[in-house]
Structure 1
Amino acid sequence: MRIFLTGATGFIGSAIVPNLLDDGHQVLGLARSEPSADALRQAGCDVLRGDLRDLESLCLGAEQADVVIHTAFDHDFSRMAENCEMDRVAIEAMGSALAGSNKRFIVTSGLPPLMGQVATETDILPAGAHGMPRVSEQAAMALIDSGVSVSVIRMPQVHDRNRQGFAFYLMDHARNHGVSAYVGDGQNRWPAVHRLDAARLYSLVLKNGVSGERYHAVSEEGVTVRDVAEAIGKRLEVPVRSLSEEDSASHFGWLDRIARMDVPASSVLTRQKLQWQPLQKAGLIQDILDSV
């Protein structure tokens, strides 16, 4: 099949590409720059120049493909609301190009932030819940009525030795402030997955995914933020400190909400339905300790 892949040179997309090519698919990768285009050509992909703001290129890619896999997202947290709106518009544009075709559209989303509850694949959260402006999943699922076969893959903290999800930002903050901190007892949890295991799930959803289903790329149900902070402290050789609720905002700034999140998640149904099993030995903590 010919697959249009957004975010093809990104953290997750670049790990998906070799899996798709090994399975005999043709990949048309979206590239914002000529260096990205060159990297895709060297990997064996066809290239379509454009980005998430270029709706014409997105529609062209969708029209030329048998399947669309959407992994691109701008994670600049200083412009989060704007980036979420850009993502919604991009999904709807690609969906309009796929309308009536019953073609597959695999869309990446975040996990439901249920705060203290273990989120499962059956949990559905309305847009804007807990202040989260991202509506990738809602925009994608709305396309089913227009004749698009939509599956959603929900992502936790994705990591390898080069990058470790939100921990990457906490590490940078600890480096700049000389202390690695957590709030209270630090028992709030983040789910996690290695990027190579996450990439394998896309191939399984492509082969056996069902329209209207949500899948969880979760390897570790909940890593405590205290363990994350202690690993960062060990990696950077800085002290580790617990903060009071009152001191958290002034210390973390825009990271305060992230540092407090308690959002464990399960992937039991995904493993049962797709026979997906994480294979990478390194978990989030190990990749923090081994980070480069």
Structure 2
Amino acid sequence: MRVLLTGGTGYIGGTVLERLIVKGHQVTALVRNSDKAKVVRAKGAEAAIADLSDGEAIRKLVAESDGVIHLASPGDETGAAVEEVAVANMLRALQNTGKAFVHTTGVWDHGSGSAITESTPMNAPRLTAWRVPIAERVRTAPGVRSSVVAPAVVYGRGGGLLNLVAAGQRTAGDAPALTMIGPGDQHWSTVHVDDVAELYILALEKASAGSYFLGASGVNPTVREITEAVSQSLGLSGRVQAEPVAHTLERLGLHGEALLLDQQASGETARRALGWAPSRPTVLEDIAATSFESAS
């Protein structure tokens, strides 16, 4: 399949790119500059240098493809506006073609919950609330084999939010402890980056129109468990210290609101509908095998 991929130099997107190439797909990766073009070419993809807000370029690239996986986001205050324009142009080019379009949101959009599924109502934090109407527009696009993947907290390959945990403050004294994000009793739904990359490809190849999948492994440790494991890896003997919610919000802002959510999800729908079978080490196993850079 000729696949247009956005975000192919990112943490998840780079892994998706590798898996697409392994599966024999012909990939064109949308990138912003020549340096990023070199990165995707080195992995076996063609590069198309364009901006997500360039409607004419986006529509042309989509028209030349058999399917699209959209993972790119500016990651700043322009994200909502850029995403609105990019998705509108992609859907315009895909309308009534029956081609596949895999879009990205995230499990945070459901808010806190002890048994989150695809049918759990949306209760997104302010950081990600803008994603909800765009995802609904994707799922209801006429004549498009659209699907939406909502990854959980992604880890693996030394990337992801575990580095934010490892960069937490240390308490003073001869036996310093690693400060947690919030009280530590909140759960994080998790998924290995290689497992979620395979979910994107299964959605591209097999998902029916209007599908929605939580990319969650079913492993939902508490932030305390995660931070204790990171503390052990950092040589702090597993010592941790809770952080008042007000301090977390002051330190991390809107991102902190999302990280304070208490979420547990299984990802069962993707297993049943697509045959997805996450098999990589759990987040705690991954931490135990990872060497984090010590910070203070």
TM-score by length of 1: 0.86
1:170 aligns with 2:169: no
Unaligned stretches of 5+ residues in structure 1: none
Q: In 1, Cα distance between the equivalents of 2:5 and 2:182?
A: 42
Deviations 1:39-90 (A, max 9, x none): 22222211110232333332222111110110112334xx3xx313322221
Which residue pairs with 1:138 in the alignment?
133
Q: 1:18 aligns to what?
A: 18
1:139: Cα distance to partner? 1.7
Structure 1 position 105 matched with structure 2 position 105: no
1:188 and 2:183 matched = no
Please give the alpha-carbon distance, in whole angstroms, between the structure 1 residues aligned to 2:32 and 2:251. Answer: 36
Deviating more after overlay: 109-118 vs 196-205: 109-118
Q: Does 1:279 align with 2:274?
A: no
In structure 2, C-alpha distance between the alignment counterparts of 1:105 and 1:252, rounded to whole Å: 33
1:2 alignment counterpart: 2
Equivalent residues of 2:117, 2:267 under 8 A apart: yes
Alpha-carbon separation, structure 1, partners of 2:226 and 2:106: 20
Question: In the alignment, which residue of structure 2 is the partner of 1:85?
Answer: 81
Q: 2: distance between equivalents of 1:98 and 1:70?
A: 13
Please state how far the C-alpha of 1:10 moved relative to its aligned partner. 1.4
Give, in whole Å, the separation in 2 of the partners of 1:179 and 1:50.
Answer: 46
Relative to structure 1, the CA distance from residue 125 to residue 254 in structure 2 (aligned partners, 3 Å threshold; closer, same or farther) is closer
* 1:205-216 alignment, distance < 5 Å: 205-216=203-214
Counterparts of 1:239-250 in structure 2 under 5 Å?
A: 239-245=239-245, 247-250=247-250
Q: For 1:122-164, what per-residue CA distance to the aligned partner results, in whole angstroms no more than 9, with x for missing partners?
A: 23427xx432444445324324343222101111111113213
Of 102-111 and 56-65, the range deviating more from structure 2: 56-65
- Structure 2 regions of 5+ residues with no counterpart? none
Give the 3-state SS of the residue equivalent to 1:107 in structure 2: strand
Q: Paired residue for 1:120?
A: 117
CA distance in 1, matches of 2:192, 2:249: 29
Contact preservation (8 Å) 2:191, 2:215: yes
- Aligned residue type for 2:243: L
Aligned residue pairs, count: 284
Q: 1:85 to 1:164 in 2, by over 3 A?
A: same
TM-score by length of 2: 0.85
Distance 2:177 2:252 in 1: 11
1:252 Cα deviation from its structure 2 partner: 5.3
Corresponding residue number in structure 1 for 2:51: 51
| Whole-Å separation in 2 of the counterparts to 1:245 and 1:41 | 44
Name the % identity: 29
- Which residue of 2 is the match for residue 31 of structure 1? 31
Question: How far 1:201 moved relative to its partner?
Answer: 1.0
Measure the CA separation in 2 of the matches of 1:247 and 1:83: 26
Distance in 1, matches of 2:142 and 2:171, equals 49
Equivalent residue letter for 1:230: E
Q: Which amino acid aligns with 2:70?
A: H
Separation in 1, partners of 2:229, 2:21:
36
Deviation of 1:212 after TM superposition, in Å, equals 0.7
- In the alignment, the residues of structure 1 paired with residue 255 and residue 141 of structure 2 have an alpha-carbon distance, to the nearest angstrom, of 38
* Conserved 8 A contact 1:140-1:150: no
- Residues 57 and 137 from structure 1, CA distance in 2 versus in 1: closer, same or farther, beyond 3 angstroms? farther
Kept in 2, the 8 Å contact 1:122–1:214? The answer is no
Change (3 A) 1:137 1:106: farther
- Whole-Å Cα distance in 2 between the matches of residues 176 and 147 of structure 1? 56
Partners of 1:245 and 1:135 lie apart in 2 by: 24
Partners of 1:164 and 1:288 within 8 A in 2:
no
| Deviation at residue 213 of structure 1 after TM alignment | 1.1
Instruction: Find out whether 1:153 has 2:152 as its counterpart.
Output: no
Q: Deviations over 1:242-279 (max 9, x none)?
A: 23445544565555424422122121121111111112
- Higher helix fraction (1 or 2): 1
How far apart, CA to CA, are the structure 2 residues paired with 1:75 and 1:287?
26
